[in-house]
Structure 1
């Protein structure tokens, strides 16, 4: 097999195994077998640098150092969620929506709220091109290199997706990973992190992406923004995102 063919084949295979493990939670090969395939790909890419791809599975280990994070203006504003603590609040909210829509039946998609750091990821032609923090909602910091290290974030999409869109979601640090990180710090005699939300948020602004790669971050995506999207409801958008390879809340 030609080197270019083998490199392409290995990338496709590793992407699928990444998806099986980190999105579906249904691994089909052992960690050892995965590591052997990854080492083979790394060796081939080193031998044939003309086939470099910034979205290769080998790039998830990080290694890029960012001294200053560039400020990027969001093409579409990122909003924050309002809280409600009473039944009356919810009824008032529903009445306002119904008044705006008129005599149209309203359906709701209920989702869990994840406590982490908001992120907006831009895809063009099925490839991850940019990841930006929420910031003030109008502009945020570009953290693309750090986001690429999170294995549940697809670098390339599958299926029938729009040519360009932003997908928004939450970068989180699951409790078991957070507890393991703190245990390792305590064993070294260092101060543990205070809470998983702040640790997830702080991870996005680490200058060395290889340090981010060592943290057990996860990403759950739940809102798609763009022109001429192939769905009309939030629920259908979540289903589409799953088909494209995203990890989406149930």
Structure 2
């Protein structure tokens, strides 16, 4: 059986531990028939031949910058059938200055609301809130989330700006709080897919830290998303 090719691209803000985070999933990719190449920068996106031979790109690059040539290469590859997936800031908070990247992914991190000001101590935990990830009706029948029940997390809860081209498999709702300026609950997508030409995009917003990535529900969604997004699946 011919093995598929996965490209792991990691870097950006070190707070999301891109090396340790992506290493959690390399054995899964290997055991599911992928030869894995790891790159520490987005330079590879400008290599048209490499991306044309790649079935799946797994990106973990928070913030950072991308050149016009690199982004054009990534967009063209996805449009031609290369799968594209990632989690948390590694895909939903990448390349903030690039509207074309946002157009490809379909959703962008806006904020993660924090605790009451008097409870904040100046660390990352200031933005850790208990919340529920709820599977949508579509998500209950989709291969990525079928059988996954609503689950609770205590971590960053992403508020996402998004468009109507995404298919939402799970959501999370930000409640009104006395110290916040919004006046009604706001529901954001927590897991979504997107068809882009012949390619598939999957975004999972939980994943701030290794313990969240090791949550059985989060890990299941990310791993299934890798298989669903890959070129072999998108061609079927």
Larger radius of gyration: 1
- TM-score, length-scaled by structure 1: 0.26
- TM-score, length-scaled by structure 2: 0.26
